[in-house]
Amino acid sequence: MLEQVGLSVFQPAHAESISAAEEHLARHPVEVVLLDLGMPESNGLEGFSKVQRAAPHSAMVLLCDPDDEPIAVQAIHQSAQDYLIKGQIEPRELKRALFNAIERKALEEIQLVEKERAQVTLDCIGDAVICTDASGNITFMNRVAEMMTGWQLKDAAGRTMADCVRIVDAISRKVILDPMSKAASQDRTGTLPLNCALISRDGREVNIEDSVAPIHDHDGEVTGAVIVFRDVSATRALEKQLTNSAHHDFLTGLPNRMLLNDRIGQAIALADRQRCHVAVLFLDLDGFKQVNDSLGHLIGDKVLQSVAKRLLECVRSPDTVVRQGGDEFIVLLQELKHSQDAISTVARLLKTMADPHFIDSHEIHITTSIGVSIYPGDGQDGETLIRNADMAMYFAKKNGSQSYRFFSPEMALEDVEVRSKGQAIWQALDWYDFKAAPPLAKLP
């Protein structure tokens, strides 16, 4: 038949059994194998599988009896290129089958190389990739996706995304519906909401960011979807750390002035709703400078850390302790039924601060002076309340260490008077010309 259709250039070899074919193919690579499924040792697909393993890069055309055609069809699904029915073969049909088989095998080899290149590429990238078909069933997962989800592709293939991938809102814990089905049904790209977390098969949880897009065929029809996502847990942790650093004192870990302003605003809003009071306590340590000068800043820092810990132990959970800077601290007391309710906390603070601090074999004694301002009587905003509490603390210090004072309007008047006199003195000094003036007489 080959000679009849001008294919004498082929150099055919003939084997009477599967074992003989295996032996020949092991020594002589060929372009195409024409295999009779009814030959000895064939046993249907078993013989085909043996020959295919012996010649993995050769095209395969099968010969079968009409009754064995279903077996040939199964072989086609297992990568045979074509089959012919014995007794119904014409020379030109044989020529067509052989050349088509060779061409198909060549295309399959090219596609295999491209697929392998794509697989290696997708396995090398740092992002997870999952593909689904038009029914929403998983068809592909790269290595990163397998590691992050805990599912192997062989186990996940054919399952839906909801079966294998659980994504929740990291804050509300609400389950996020399959974003790939949405991308496919709406035929548009999209992303997950912010703060999403992926829960893996074994219960591990990672924060993720993603992008989702539909997959189209040559005619532009949607055939599935692809999701690409990455683990952003480290990034989120760093963002949280930076945010925390921006709002907290690096030495004591207490909230700083920036966070205090926000807390006071919330406390005032709550006080207005519940018709209660807010107290701002301004604390300044007595004798701390001597500690720094005599024992050094390292010991001084440890004293500040000890002070911060004691202050936290003296207040309730809704209250806030802030390091204002240096040896100054602010305590915000919320939800006070009466303004005088702050006195009990002030008394605890004075007593606690008077107890000795034991730092690196040193017994250190310091006390504190406290100024108190109350919302709404002493100010309508955080800045005013802090300023008035600071002023009250100044008057407490004038009375001696380890004391407290509540703010009063008279303090503000006295403060204005002092500032006015000071400003007048400086203006006078600035006006006086010391060089032109005669020397001052010496006092007797």
Residue type, 213: A
Region 421-425: mean pLDDT is 60
Strands (E), 142-237: 166-169, 196-199, 205-216, 222-231
24: CB partners within 8 A, 6+ apart: 13, 15
- Residue 210 class from Cβ within 10 Å (0-12 exposed, 13-18 middle, 19+ buried)? buried
56 DSSP assignment: T
Cut 0.75: pTM above it = no
Structure-derived torsion over alpha carbons of residues 307, 309, 310, 315, reported in degrees to the nearest 10: 120
Band the pLDDT of 85: cuts 50, 70, 90.
confident
What is the full DSSP assignment across 306-333?
A: HHHHHHHHHS-TT-EEEEEETTEEEEEE
Residues 6+ positions from 245 with CB-CB distance below 8 Å = none
Mean pLDDT over 222-232 rounds to 87
Q: Whole-angstrom Cα distance, residue 299 to residue 291? A: 8
d(CA 388, CA 394): 10
Where do the domains of the chain lie, and which CATH numbers do they carry? 18-120 (3.40.50.2300), 125-236 (3.30.450.20), 248-430 (3.30.70.270)
Is the preceding peptide bond at 376 cis, omega within 30 degrees of 0? yes
Split at pLDDT 50, 70, 90, the class of 350 is: very high
For residue 215, name the pLDDT band (cuts at 50, 70, 90): confident
CB 210 within 8 A of CB 191: yes
Question: At 172, is the secondary structure helix, strand, or coil?
Answer: coil
Q: Which of 39, 54, 32 is nearest to 103 (CA)?
A: 32
Contact between 57 and 81 under an 8 Å Cβ cutoff? The reply is no
> What share of the chain has pLDDT > 70, as a percent?
91
**Tens digits of per-residue pLDDT, 160-210?**
888 888 888 888 888 887 777 777 777 888 777 778 888 888 888 888 887
Mean pLDDT of the chain: 84
Question: Tokens standing for 315?
Answer: 């207040």
What is the pLDDT averaged over residues 236-253? 79
Report CA-CA distances (Å) from 376 to 266, 279, 336, 382: 14, 9, 12, 11
Of 134, 201, 127, the residue nearest 164 (C-alpha): 201
396 confidence band (pLDDT: 50, 70, 90): very high
- pLDDT confidence band for 368 (50 / 70 / 90): very high
Q: How far apart are CA 254 and CA 237, in angstroms?
A: 19
Per DSSP, the three-state class of 8 is coil
CA distance 216 to 211: 16
